[in-house]
Amino acid sequence: MKRSRLGPWLLMLFGVLYFFVPLLGTFEFSLRYLRGVYSLEAYRIVLADPRFGATVTYSTALALATIVVGVVLVVPTAYWIQLRLPGLRPVVEFITLLPLVIPAIVLVFGYLRIYNSSSLLPLTGSERTTDLLLIFSYVTLALPYMYRAVDTGLRAIDVRSLTEAAQSLGAGWPMILFRVIFPNVRVAVLSGAFLTFAIVIGEFTMASLLDRPAFGPYLQLMGANRAYEPSALAIISFGITWACMGLIQVFGRGAHGQVAGAH
Amino acid sequence: MRISEEARGSVGGERVEDGRPGAGATFLEIENLQKKFAQTTAVEHVQLEVTRGEFVSFLGPSGCGKTTTLRIIAGFEAPSSGAIRLDGVDITHRPPHQRHVGMVFQSYALFPNMTVAQNVGFGLKVAKKPAALIKQRVEEMLNLIKLPALGNRYPHQLSGGQQQRVALARALAIQPQVLLLDEPLSALDAKIRVALRQEIRTIQRELGITTIYVTHDQEEALSLSDRIVIMSEGRVEQIGTPFEIYNFPRTSFVASFVGTLNILRGQVADPARGKIVIDGQEVIASRGLKDARVGEVCSVALRPEIVSLGEAAGDGNRMQGTVEDVNFLGSIVRVRVRFKDNAISLDLFNNPSLSLPQRGQAVTVSFPREAVLALETASSM
């Protein structure tokens, strides 16, 4: 009995070491800024750097905009596919998976060809329109995660009956979407939103090639020029990503708890 | 295949108006409704007139078109042709949210994010009614469905029966012109189903609301309805009161679908007297054989409960046979008697002093002449 349990424990130990040793190494290295003592000096320098605040703020703003555009695009689409066009589901699923197989660098070069300053739609002509292009490219990048999350949420409820029940009670489409469908896929939408946030906050390729001051290019810049600060930044990035994952869990539980709390 | 005209009888031939509330003026009219999906015809030439306050059930097997017809009335499906008029107004092309029709679904379809009170008040809120009126109406509805204390619960905290009652209250809260119920009791267990169907009927009578009820459960349809529409393969087979449908089925489909039926095959011996020979024994059918010819093969139907064991008084039919099987079913005992090629099932009411026949025992069975339903003859097949 004891021998049969040893295998899973060894596997788990291997997994923990595989994931945590590099992380601990990075963390330990980030504390060695001052010779001979462990200190948070690298973190202090990073947090005091005005470019850190500016790039994090920029990426956060873009992430929030991406989430809004993504939700507005994906929720009605996934809802309509489920309700009226189930035959199109494989096609839409295929399209949403494309960003996973087409590298970001290919996408961004495509954008640069189509939207350059001498094109019909010169989105790269100014900083604001480039920001817009970056938001749309992030929506594309996050599409597989957002669509899947929302679609799973919609499958968990009886979309057709709920829609028809609301219709028979006199509700029009906006009322059905905002009062009936959205609230019932809130947790799924939030999962998609946090995944989008985690992707956008550290994205490098698109921001760098479109020359925008995002957190990803800043990470790369620091990594190329400094020793200890990149490790501190890596740990901070992990912290942000994990916080997002934690929030998915909290909101997921929150929705259940909120209902259960009414007992 | 139709049961011959004569077999419908005087009661079956006429519409019995007594059981129908507000008989007379048509309130809901379905005119020549047709629905085609690609190559298949789901609903074919459905014609129905429903009076105000009437309870009409659509009964039929799966895929017979009853739910599609209901969904067309609700506006969830557009008909390929035909029209629907409600209180004289053509609503055929009106979107569902403008039809003022209440709908109760098999899956309850309560909004999971809303409390019971919010669910019931949803339609009134959509109609922008004042908050005080909504509160009052929700309370009235919760009292009507006997769940006054559950307004703050969420749907998942209720049993299936409670959820369906809330769904009924929600549909009724907007005071719809017509209430549509799509197999509302199918997902519930047997005991609750019986209790709730009585409750639905009581509420429907209390409010006097015109109701269309879709079910595949014949007992439900027979016990609830003022009239039943029997459907098969998209077509209406018969429309009539439960009494007419059960006792005077117009087609062999209706006869075999509603209730249990014995079908016996024989040969016409004397059409004028309604005499048929079944396995060498004479049987007289009081109706339905006048058009038949001597020597024709014909089928007759008999309900098990109309057949009695032993010699009955009077000039009824008698047949001799052998007991093939005896099944004790609780309140009734079903006995199967074989003649030769044909066999018949009959029901005896259980009582402790009943002496059950034994398998292999020779017995006589009796049944009235008017109980013999003549089905199609070979020439009409």
Cα B83 to Cα B102: distance, rounded to the nearest angstrom: 19
Predicted local distance difference test score (pLDDT) of residue B21: 53
Of A158, A171, A172, the CB nearest to B109: A158
Q: Do B111 and A166 touch (CB under 8 A)?
A: yes
Q: What is the pLDDT of residues B257-272, one digit of tens each?
A: 888 888 888 998 888 8
Q: Are A147 and A88 in contact (CB under 8 A)?
A: no
- Rounded to the nearest angstrom, the gap between the alpha carbon of residue B272 and the centroid of all alpha carbons in its chain is 34
Q: Predicted ipTM?
A: 0.77
For the CA atoms of A116, A121, A126, A132, the dihedral, rounded to the nearest 10 degrees, stands at -110
Q: What is the pLDDT of residues B313-361, one digit of tens each?
A: 778 899 999 999 999 888 888 999 999 999 999 988 888 888 888 899 9
Q: Do B97 and A171 touch (CB under 8 A)?
A: yes
Closest Cα partner for B170 from A182, A180, A76? A180
Instruction: Quote the mean pLDDT of chain A.
Output: 86
Instruction: Quote the mean pLDDT of chain B.
Output: 86
Q: Do B113 and A158 touch (CB under 8 A)?
A: no
Residue A89 has pLDDT above 80, yes or no: yes
Of A167, A259, A262, the CB nearest to B96: A167
Task: Give the closest-approach CA distance of B208 to chain A in angstroms.
Answer: 20
- Rounded to the nearest angstrom, the gap between the alpha carbon of residue B214 and the centroid of all alpha carbons in its chain is 9
Chain A residues with CB under 8 Å of B107 CB are 158, 161
The mean per-residue pLDDT over the stretch A34-51 comes to 88
Q: Do A168 and B95 touch (CB under 8 A)?
A: no
In terms of Cβ atoms closer than 10 Å to its own Cβ (0-12, 13-18, 19+), residue B1 is exposed
- Rounded to whole angstroms, what are the CA distances from B161 to B164, B169, B184? 5, 12, 10
Place of tokens 């399209």: A95
Of B100, B107, B126, the CB nearest to A175: B126
Residue A258 has pLDDT above 50, yes or no: no
- Residue B121 φ then ψ, to 5°: -85, 0
Question: B350 touching A, CB under 8 A?
Answer: no
- Residue B168: its H or E element: helix B160-173
- Predicted TM-score of the model (pTM): 0.76
Question: B178 touching A, CB under 8 A?
Answer: no
Of A122-136, A236-250, B99-113, B330-344, least confident by mean pLDDT is A236-250
